[in-house]
Amino acid sequence: MPGAAPTVMGVGLARNRYLLLTAAVLPLVVGLGLLVAGQDRAAFFAFVAGTVPVLAVLVFDIARALGEGRFGLDLLAALSMATALAFGEPLAGNVVALMYAGGQQLERFAEGRARREMTALAARAPRSALLREGDTLREVPIGVLKGGDLIVVRQGDTIPADGRICGGPAVLDQSSLTGEAHPVRLEEGEEAPSGAVNVGGAFDVRVLRPADESTYAAIVRLVEAAAASRAPMARLADRYALGFLMVSLGLALAAAFLSGDPRRALAVLVVATPCPLILAVPVALMAGLSRAAKRGVLVKSGGALEKLAAVRALVIDKTGTLTHGRAQLQEIRAAPDFAPDEVLRLAAALDQASSHVVAAALVAAAKARGLALAVPEGVEEEGGVGVTGRVEGREVAVGGYAFVAARATGDGGAMRASLPAASAVVAVAIDGCFAGLLILADQVRDDAGEMVRALRAGGVDHIALASGDRVEAVEALGRSLDLDSWAGDLQPGGKVSHVTDARARAHARLASGTVMMVGDGVNDAPALAAADVGVALGARGAAASAEVADVVLLVDRLDRLAEAMAIARRALAIARQSVFVGIALSLVGMLAAAFGLLEPVAGALLQEAIDVAVILNALRVLIPGPGEG
């Protein structure tokens, strides 16, 4: 279907694809009826009437595209219709017009089907919320919600903004966010993500942040950006357009010249099929994006999907990525002049200002012990490394050992002896003196080993662990998962260097190779940006990491990453298959037309059959394949 590429029309007829289709169909039906009745001349004019309006819209489209610096294969459709009219073959022109107008509808169907899971996210976005004001309820636009507001979520409602459950418990369907089919039960005080649907009784939610800053709003923005993106592979097809056009025109002219029959040129033109180039690639890639979204993996663009399929090396963070990121305090080792609870209390008070997962664990541990936490002042955080500030007039530093040791006197080396291998250690300094170590344990995810095996089976041949945790803990985890390399005590810049080294090793082994970085915190953002493919754990990760990442895991499961890679590889394979097979069939049809084996009308019908087959093949991406859930 020549010309099925998306275009912007500026006239009334062009704005309504159904009118365009009707303008081609009705005259064709009338004309065929007149032919049967023996009214050849009237049928001739009916076919002309079915061709001219569509040709006029198409010429307008082509002129507009050229004015915007875009070139496409719509020109073949225009040439086919114009040539048919010039050669007195309006029936062939009307059939091509029908194929073009029908192609617009087929395109809309195919892309709509491919985008289904992605557009469903935006379609489910709530527009209003039920605000509780004292004893009254008032329905308000979600744009007016702010932190601290209390809203009522009724059964069947979508939570409009991130908040905490009040008057729970709540039973939520989070499938639109995570792909998980089973409802989740949240207790009072737990955080409820925007976008989840209430499938239980009504409950209240205390809003944490405005709706436009919520999890769901961010996801919808990412989805819209992904849907509007064009993949490098799709852009590459544009470069083939001129070559395909030249081949088609050359073959048409040669057929007419060598045979002495100008109708053969017309037959070649109407069978020329640009759809494998125009639609097969974007439909297959959009279907891949949609399929990944359904499994809880948001790939931000078609380009990212292509890179995901080519990953050969992986660099992965430890805390909150390979581990649950819900570390629990196991032991406090305090310096002689400091009480253990005092070390924890001051450290946790300062960490209230940090978004790091370990900081949250310290705050929870302090509250569990009944320790009162003052509000910190003058807080300065070095992402992923440490935090400094004042608590009750005292200078406090909390973070990695090197970070704290550089800001304190005293030797904490003795306290670091005989630490559990897999533990995470937080150092604390108070008023410039080394005050102690807080030792936490963070369990390795159950699916970490499965993810590693699945990634290796999918072609990833080097997996490295890069973490800010101490070397002993990182080494213990790396050995237990049989990783290829590991490094600990890294600052954010060190993780970036690790990504660069992994890329150099991949290129040395394979002459090319894409490097993926997986992380979940602010300290991972530079490394995510430096990698060819950055993957953020968005189910619980920091906004900064999700913002720079190419892929966001919406579900708290690492095995979905291997699934997303399998989806990406299959989407690209089907896109290439559609292009090569479609173009091959088109060339065979064009050669048959050049040798007089196909009449113009039969060529146009063959062209449409090839187009439909190619698009249906591209939509196979939506069907789960090997390695996909």
Query: Residue 516 phi/psi, 5° resolution?
Result: -110, 140
Round to whole Å and give the CA distance between 557 and 442. Answer: 16
Q: Where are the alpha helices (DSSP H) in 68-89?
A: 74-86
C-alpha Rg value of the chain to the nearest Å: 31
- Please tell me whether residue 416 adopts helix, strand or coil conformation: helix
- Residue 397 DSSP code: E
In this structure, how many other beta carbons lie within 10 angstroms of the beta carbon of residue 55? 20
Q: Where are the beta strands (DSSP E) in 475-538?
A: 485-487, 514-519, 533-537
Distance of CA 31 to the CA centre of its chain: 48
Contact 382, 373 (CB under 8 A): no
| Six token digits for residue 622 | 């939506």
DSSP strands (E only) in 467-529: 485-487, 514-519
Structure tokens at 359: 């900081």
For 106-175, the three-class secondary structure string (H helix, E strand, C coil) is: HHHHHHHHHCHHHHHHHHCCCCEEEEEECCEEEEEEHHHCCCCCEEEECCCCECCCCEEEECCCEEEECH
List of residues 6+ apart from 460 with CB closer than 8 A: 311, 312, 313, 314, 516, 565
Q: Which DSSP letter does residue 375 get? A: P
3-state SS string for 370-401: CCCCCCCEEEEEECCCEEEEEECCEEEEEECH
- Label residues 2-34 b or e (16+ Cβ within 10 Å = b): bbbbebebeeebbeebeebbebbbebbebbeeb
**Closest by Cα among 223, 391, 205 to 300:** 223
Is 411 known to be catalytic? no
**Number of other CB atoms surrounding residue 507 within 10 Å:** 14
Task: Tell me the two tokens of residue 506.
Answer: 């991949």
Report the distance separating Cα 506 and Cα 502, nearest Å: 6
Chain centre to alpha carbon of residue 194: 18
CA 446/CA 480 separation, integer angstroms: 12
Q: What are phi and psi of 261, to 5 degrees?
A: -115, 105
Instruction: Count the helix, strand and coil residues of the chain and give each as a percent rounded to the nearest 5.
Output: 55, 20, 30
All residues at 6 or more sequence positions from 455 whose CB lies less than 8 Å from its CB, including other chains? 314, 463, 561, 562, 565
Sign for the pseudo-dihedral over CA of 8, 12, 15, 20: negative
**For residue 573, which phi and psi values (nearest 5 degrees)?**
-65, -45
Q: How far apart are CA 544 and CA 539, in angstroms?
A: 13
- The angle formed by the CA atoms of residues 440, 442 and 444, to the nearest 5 degrees, is 160
Contact 173, 199 (CB under 8 A): yes
Q: Is the dihedral of CA 11, 12, 16, 20 positive or negative?
A: negative
Active-site entry in 149, 317, 520, 524: 317
Closest CA to 239 of 230, 252, 228: 230
Active site residues: 317
